[in-house]
Amino acid sequence: MNFFKAVTTSVPLLEVPAQLWSGLIQNLRNQGAGVRESGAFLLGQKTNSCRVVTRTLPYEQLQADALHDDYVALTAASFAKLWNFCRQEGLSVVADVHTHRFGAGQSLSDRANPMIALTGHIAFIVPRFAQGNVRLQNLGMYVYQGNHRWTAYSGSDVSQFVRLTGDPK
């Protein structure tokens, strides 16, 4: 934990059960089928220093037509469903994730329209529609700073902030 504090104090550590994570990536890959973007919310509990993911909520489960070739989009009604679900289950939105066709950089739209416009919200982008072997250091990780500003992390930084738990290796 001290190690992470030394890197930065502004980015909370994210813990995800390894099995949940691999299921998430697999679902993103399957839903995108190599031709369209896909995405999901990561739900769980959060404190200032740590966020623990306990389940995921894929966008297609909130809204059948959320996935498109070059973007993902949810309506206000889908967000209402999300908040209802979180309230019923006692969960918070810990982060969101979506795929891109090529790299893991944010689009103009991603920067301008955070899924959750809360300072400290984390958005991940998985490159290549999550095809192939997706490793943490392949992801783009973006922490919302408010006012359409983000702090971006990539490469080994991402694997420092995300801890896959219960991984046998």
User: Could you tell me which of 29, 8, 43, 18 has the C-alpha nearest to residue 161?
Assistant: 8
Both tokens of 130, joined, read: 């999550």
Q: Which of 53, 62, 104, 110 binds Zn ion (CB under 5 A)?
A: 110
For residue 22, with 0-12 CB atoms within 10 Å meaning exposed, 13-18 middle and 19 or more buried, which class applies? middle
Q: Which of 9, 19, 107, 113 binds Zn ion (CB under 5 A)?
A: 107
Min separation Cβ 166 and Zn ion, Å = 29
3 vs 102, which CB is nearer to Zn ion? 102
Contacts with Zn ion, 64-103, as mask; x by CB under 5 A = ----------------------------------------
Min separation Cβ 24 and Zn ion, Å = 17
91 vs 134, which CB is nearer to Zn ion? 134
91 vs 97, which CB is nearer to Zn ion? 97
Residues in region 27-56 near Zn ion by CB under 5 A: none
Distances (CA, A) of 2 to 49, 89, 120, 145: 11, 32, 20, 23
Count other Cβ atoms within 10 Å, centred on residue 46: 19
Residues in region 149-168 near Zn ion by CB under 5 A: none
Both tokens of 32, joined, read: 């995108």
6 vs 108, which CB is nearer to Zn ion? 108
| CB closest to Zn ion, residue no | 110
Min separation Cβ 145 and Zn ion, Å = 18
* CA separation for the pair 6, 129 (Å, rounded): 33
For residue 45, with 0-12 CB atoms within 10 Å meaning exposed, 13-18 middle and 19 or more buried, which class applies? middle
Number of residues this chain uses to bind Zn ion (CB under 5 A): 2
Rg (CA), the chain: 15
Applying CB under 5 A, the residues found at the interface with Zn ion are 107, 110
